[in-house]
Structure 1
Amino acid sequence: MLKHAVIPLLVGAGLLASASSAFGASNLVFCSEGSPAGFDPGQYTTGTDFDASAETVFNRLTQFERGGTTVIPGLATSWDVSDDGLTYTFHLREGVKFHTTDYFKPSRPFNADDVLFTFNRMLDKDHPFRKVYPTEFPYFTDMGMDKNIAGIEKLDALTVRFTLNQVDAAFIQNLAMSFASIQSAEYAEQLLEQGKATDINQKPIGTGPFVFSKYQKDAQIRFKGNKDYWKPEDVKIDNLIFAISTDASVRMQKLKKNECQVTLFPRPADIEPLKKDTKLRMPEQAGYNLGYVAYNVMDKIKGSDAPNPMAQLKVRQALDMAVNKQQIIASVYQGAGQLAVNAMPPTQWSYDTTIKDAAYDPEKAKALLKEAGVKEGTEITLWAMPVQRPYNPNAKLMAEMLQADWAKVGIKAKIVSYEWGEYIKRSKGGENGAMIIGWSGDNGDPDNWLGTLFGCDALAGNNFSKWCHKPFDDLVKQAKATSDQAKRIELYKQAQHILKEQVPMTPIAHSTVYQPMSASVKDFKISPFGLNSFYGVSVGK
């Protein structure tokens, strides 16, 4: 599990002193919940990683407006789409500077070469940089972009053309997502020459509002405001510091003492006291998220020679109906969660309201297990997240309650956990059994739920159930390949019914998102995607 932050070291160094006293009004400390696995956004899929890289150091061709789902220009000032929907021509922003640091000094501004490097590295497994530093790009492949992008051309220094094999109705939204952050081709070339290709993931260079300065695992990340940012009005903080602590109570105490000015994921029991503190603000938002249990459906779980009972539909149906969701929501979410029935939140367009949950029925669950030939006392592993996320305030407690629910029907669940980065890595490799996980939407499109989490292209990525069901997958792919929204809705609804019938997961709850912060913080906006962005934010007295 993640270690607690090294608090004495941070305080002793003066790093967590109040922004208004030790640093001055243009500095902000963010009490974050975990250490990033790295700083190369293309490699990762979690908000913890994106907060520390994509939301600070990098920009993308398109971007989402702060606090919303509308796509606006980013490093591309405009784009043209061909009549057949297969060609996208991007006109790039002129004069954008890459960061200057003690490890890199750019000789030129951002141009088309950087776009080509960024996407060709993800597209081509034989790309020179990828050969030296082999890595995977799970979001890119989960959404099938590796198969759908036929090619990228540099038309001139400030014009790039993407050609697709088939229509992708969410292509512009996808390019605004964190994984599509634009890297410096010049920096990559320097790293290759120096034999330091892995530094792209440890010492990032981007065009974003904050410049990476220092990282101490499980303790702190330091950034400096980018004085050369192409949108100077968005940089109002001189020093941005992530103070890392996995313990929610520690984070809230630091907020109250003004040792940090923004934090996240309060414990449900802390919400009312925080709301009453006159020195704080507690904005909230209905969660565009889902906490769920994924069932690994592989015949044999990686690392085990024993048959996997969850490969059987009847076993998954039994586990699903043995879960007392109402009790879990009452204990884990404590009034800040809404019962989840489907694989996406009700606010997502195309959500099918006709889908109903199987009733909580332990006796029927026992009968199904018997029909499946599963003996009483059969053991499965139940993976529990080591961190809080927007969709789950207490995975450990949820795991204990699931363990108790399944024990009542004769299933013995052994709870397993790892440090967050290891948890994700091992589960993407198929080592997990039943797994507590969740999702915050990334781009406002239904494919980001159904395709990214349960599509066949996502088997090595965010499809933690390892469930590839062709009738479902065909519908999702058809929906993505048409721009007719009415047709897309119809196809996605059919897909939702199949997913509910096949039970690769048990949806638990949609969590309300609370963002505790000092009353001195100005213009912070809660992201519907569960990210924490500090551009445009300031701190006053």
Structure 2
Amino acid sequence: MKIIARLLIAATGLFNLTACYDAGIKQTIHDTGFIYCESGNVDFFNPQISDGNSILEAISAQVYDRLLIIAPVTQKPSANLATSWQVDDTGTVYTFDLKENVQFHTTEWFTPSRALTASDVAFSFNRILDKNNAFHNVNSGDYPWFNSINFSQMVTSVEAITPHKVRFTLSTPDNTFLSVLAASYAVIHSEEYAQQLAAIDEKTLIDVKPVGTGPFKLAQFQRSELVRLKRHEQYWQGPANMSQVVFDISSRGTGSLAKLLRQECDVVANPISSQLPIIIANDALTLYSQTAMNVAYIAINMREPILQDQRVRKALSFAIDRSSLINSVYYNSGIEAKSILPPASWAYGNDSSHIRYDLNYAKGLLREAGVKDGLELTMWVPLDNNSYNPSPKKSAEIIQSDFAKLGIDLKILTSDILNPNELKDADVDLVLTGWNANSSDPDSLLRPLLSCDAKQAGFGVANWCNEEFDLLLDLAKETNQPRYRINIYRQIQNVLSEELPVIPLAHGVKYQANQSSLTGFTLSPFNTYSFHNVVRVKELN
């Protein structure tokens, strides 16, 4: 990612940026748009090459469209750029009909000559699939999420059949495929823009100066400070209600709440749980909540010899008082995790006999494994709060205290953003992390984190690979029988409870706080939705 960062520094000078906005500018934003505050950072705007970043997901949901989306009510894949689709008798050929007259962004760096066609869809996915594609190796040539689900083995070809019909051919029937196309990573790019960049030998700009079909387009960017989007006037669903959105990415922790109270922020994503009572008590603010399909967990570095002992891994799990986490970190808004899958999942299996608080049993397991007091472990903790963990540092300190009762000295290493690629050669025993699912399908929580492909892609930070687990995952996605799928996912959860490559901690709630003058937001257990319908209600004098 260092290469991308250097490219971005060079590219941002073209945007005529400023990170400071005075009272007049703030009033203009208030009158014509809103300021969205979330901690984090971005080095590029294409989620295809991202390894998971909530602020990038929020921005890309405004800039790009996908063929399908996850409907917030039914929680199933539904039409978006694709109006309909057909599946052949083999279950391996999907043909999608595309919406007509979908316009790409007109920006300072690109003026489109045509609307979206099937060739744009084919280009967007063939960049990932085809190693000979001119853009495959651009900006690292790594597609972590797609690699973690073995997308190149799932899809054998993507072809434009007619200008508004595209065909995907799969290697085997796959019940997860439609959910994959609805994931926040599966965005559609302009092939015409790519060809223009290739002609001037500037292919790297495709990810840092984006062109999409979403309701907003990139206008300004300054790293660690702000991203400003302007309304796409030719958006296929009609122009957005607000003419601009400013993402303030300079805030951290309590600073976001202070800005919200001073009306310097209109929206705060994932507020810290301890801030919720203050928000609820303020009549000028509205708090949205949504049960999320997520999990906070500790990934165990299976390359460490002492952690390869199953008894040691289980002892660590039994030593954690999850009720203390829920009370102190989630302020009783979360749920103790008994599985990687949350209770809202249709495949959830509660295995409390394996995942519970039992300090004496934990001590007995360590004695049996020959581990004496004084064992030292390190745990990497990203500082950015998220819906699955509203205060990672505080969670880490509670876990540190729990491990001390077990005679384990836990050293906490902190970082603003966790980059799984940095862990490959790092001397780290544990990682406090989590995951937000892209759909209601259990596969979207299990495969990207724990499959052998996830390990190979650097997406699965536990460095775990289990052939039985992968076989069960593949069986579950190939069968159409709901009862059979549920039974397979119960077996999968049993394997995880026995092997314990990750320690489930909690399932969080998705929160958003905003000025009550703003309405029209859509909260989902999965992807961030566009701000197309957000509008500010005029205040009464």
Q: 1:293 aligns with which of 288, 298, 301?
A: 298
2:241 is aligned with 1:236: yes
Residue 218 of structure 2: aligned partner: 212
Question: Number of aligned pairs?
Answer: 520
Residue 103 of structure 1: aligned partner: 109
The 1:425/1:273 distance shift into structure 2, 3 A limit, reads same
**Matches of residues 219-230 of structure 1 in structure 2 within 5 Å?**
219-230=225-236
2:412 is aligned with 1:415: yes
2:98 is aligned with 1:92: yes
Deviates more, 1:200-209 or 1:526-535: 526-535
Q: What are structure 1's unaligned runs of at least 5 residues?
A: 1-8, 301-307
Task: Report the CA distance between 1:394 and its aligned residue.
Answer: 0.9
- What are the Cα deviations for residues 471-526 of structure 1, in whole angstroms up to 9, with x where unaligned? 12111110011222221111111111111111111111111222111111111121
Residue 477 of structure 1: aligned partner: 474
- Paired with 1:42 and 1:358, the residues of 2 have a C-alpha distance of 35
Partner of 2:156, secondary structure, is strand
CA contact (8 A) 2:57 2:184 kept: no
- Paired with 1:366 and 1:519, the residues of 2 have a C-alpha distance of 51
Structure 1 residue identity aligned to 2:362: A
TM-score, normalised with respect to structure 1: 0.91
Q: 1:463 aligns with which of 456, 460, 463?
A: 460
The 1:132/1:342 distance shift into structure 2, 3 A limit, reads closer
CA contact (8 A) 2:351 2:497 kept: no
2:345 is aligned with 1:332: no
Residue 433 of structure 2: aligned partner: 437
Residue 57 of structure 1: aligned partner: 63
- What are the Cα deviations for residues 89-146 of structure 1, in whole angstroms up to 9, with x where unaligned? 0111212111111111112211121111111111122322224543211121212221
Task: Report the CA distance between 1:355 and its aligned residue.
Answer: 4.9
- What are the Cα deviations for residues 233-268 of structure 1, in whole angstroms up to 9, with x where unaligned? 6x1110110011342321112212222211122222
Partner of 1:508, secondary structure, is strand
The 1:350/1:520 distance shift into structure 2, 3 A limit, reads same
Q: 1:137 aligns with which of 140, 143, 150?
A: 143
Q: What are structure 2's unaligned runs of at least 5 residues?
A: 1-17
Residue 255 of structure 2: aligned partner: 250
Residue 120 of structure 2: aligned partner: 114
Q: 1:373 aligns with which of 370, 374, 384?
A: 370
The 1:424/1:520 distance shift into structure 2, 3 A limit, reads farther
2:528 is aligned with 1:531: yes
- Paired with 2:60 and 2:170, the residues of 1 have a C-alpha distance of 25
Residue 165 of structure 1: aligned partner: 171
CA contact (8 A) 1:341 1:356 kept: no
- Paired with 1:276 and 1:437, the residues of 2 have a C-alpha distance of 31
The 1:125/1:142 distance shift into structure 2, 3 A limit, reads same
- Paired with 1:461 and 1:47, the residues of 2 have a C-alpha distance of 15
TM-score, normalised with respect to structure 2: 0.91
- Paired with 2:357 and 2:212, the residues of 1 have a C-alpha distance of 50
- What are the Cα deviations for residues 180-205 of structure 1, in whole angstroms up to 9, with x where unaligned? 10011111122222222221221111
CA RMSD of aligned residues (A): 2.0
Structure 1 residue identity aligned to 2:140: P
- Paired with 1:431 and 1:69, the residues of 2 have a C-alpha distance of 40
CA contact (8 A) 1:10 1:16 kept: no
- Paired with 1:68 and 1:204, the residues of 2 have a C-alpha distance of 31
- Paired with 2:442 and 2:71, the residues of 1 have a C-alpha distance of 19
Partner of 2:421, secondary structure, is helix
- Paired with 2:160 and 2:426, the residues of 1 have a C-alpha distance of 39
- Paired with 2:537 and 2:44, the residues of 1 have a C-alpha distance of 31
Structure 2 residue identity aligned to 1:453: L
- Paired with 1:397 and 1:217, the residues of 2 have a C-alpha distance of 27
Partner of 1:23, secondary structure, is helix
- What are the Cα deviations for residues 43-84 of structure 1, in whole angstroms up to 9, with x where unaligned? 114242543443111001112235762322122111111122
Structure 1 residue identity aligned to 2:122: L
- Paired with 2:425 and 2:233, the residues of 1 have a C-alpha distance of 41
The 1:270/1:418 distance shift into structure 2, 3 A limit, reads closer
- Paired with 1:436 and 1:263, the residues of 2 have a C-alpha distance of 23
Residue 450 of structure 1: aligned partner: 446
Task: Report the CA distance between 1:429 and its aligned residue.
Answer: 6.5
Seq. identity, %: 34
- Paired with 1:219 and 1:24, the residues of 2 have a C-alpha distance of 18
- Paired with 1:525 and 1:93, the residues of 2 have a C-alpha distance of 23
Structure 2 residue identity aligned to 1:317: K
- Paired with 1:433 and 1:203, the residues of 2 have a C-alpha distance of 38
Residue 276 of structure 2: aligned partner: 271
2:35 is aligned with 1:39: no
Q: 2:209 aligns with which of 203, 213, 220?
A: 203
- Paired with 2:146 and 2:496, the residues of 1 have a C-alpha distance of 23
Partner of 1:163, secondary structure, is strand
- Paired with 1:34 and 1:419, the residues of 2 have a C-alpha distance of 7
CA contact (8 A) 1:33 1:387 kept: yes
Q: 1:82 aligns with which of 69, 88, 105?
A: 88
Partner of 1:54, secondary structure, is helix
CA contact (8 A) 1:333 1:393 kept: yes
- Paired with 2:206 and 2:104, the residues of 1 have a C-alpha distance of 14
Structure 2 residue identity aligned to 1:512: V
The 1:535/1:429 distance shift into structure 2, 3 A limit, reads farther
Structure 1 residue identity aligned to 2:93: T
Residue 491 of structure 2: aligned partner: 494
- Paired with 2:194 and 2:429, the residues of 1 have a C-alpha distance of 38
Task: Report the CA distance between 1:22 and its aligned residue.
Answer: 2.7
